[in-house]
Each structure stands twice: as structure tokens, then as C-alpha cells.
């Protein structure tokens, strides 16, 4: 389930100033089964979210989330196992 106003961003680009506008590329995001992403979350490129996990509303996910956990915050951190 994905709540309203969730941003799932896969775009990447060079960090060098002269190359930033030349080209971009996609960095995959993997979202497992039975995941619940609360409203207004941001999921950044390259992240994997494991099965059955919950991303609390307003969280910013910058690193992988294991299966069967609840994460929250900016940056999102594990709150508890489920």
C-alpha cells in the first residue's frame, strides 16, 4: 500500500558541476511484498524495502530497510520488529 504524496525517486546524475546537465541515469528501487508506505514519504534511489515492512508517514528512506520492521523519521531509522 502506498499513501498519498509519496515520492519514489530513481534519478541519478554526476556530482561534477560540469557534467550535471549532460546526462542522467536510473538507480533502481526494490519494494517487497506487503509493504506499507505512509503518506508523504520519500524513497531515494538504490533503496530496497523488505517484505512486510512499514514506512511511517513523512519518512525519508535513504538506505535499505530489512523485512518485517517499522521505520520512521528523517532519515528513516528502525523503530521495531514486526
Angle at 1 between CA 58 and CA 62, to 5 degrees: 40
SS3 sequence of 35-64: CEECCCCEECCCCEECCCCEECCCCEECCC
Place of cell 528502525: 78
Which candidate in 13, 20, 63, 78 is catalytic? Answer: 13
Residue 13 designated active-site:
yes
Catalytic residues, by residue number, are 13
Amino acid at each position: 500500500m502506498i499513501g498519498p504524496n509519496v515520492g519514489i525517486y530513481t534519478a541519478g546524475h554526476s556530482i561534477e558541476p560540469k557534467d550535471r546537465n549532460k546526462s542522467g541515469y536510473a538507480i533502481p528501487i526494490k519494494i517487497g511484498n506487503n509493504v506499507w508506505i505512509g503518506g508523504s514519504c520519500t524513497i531515494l534511489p538504490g533503496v530496497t524495502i523488505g517484505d512486510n515492512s512499514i514506512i511511517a508517514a513523512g519518512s525519508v528512506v535513504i538506505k535499505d530497510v530489512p523485512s518485517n520492521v517499522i521505520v520512521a523519521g528523517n532519515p528513516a531509522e528502525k523503530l521495531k520488529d514486526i
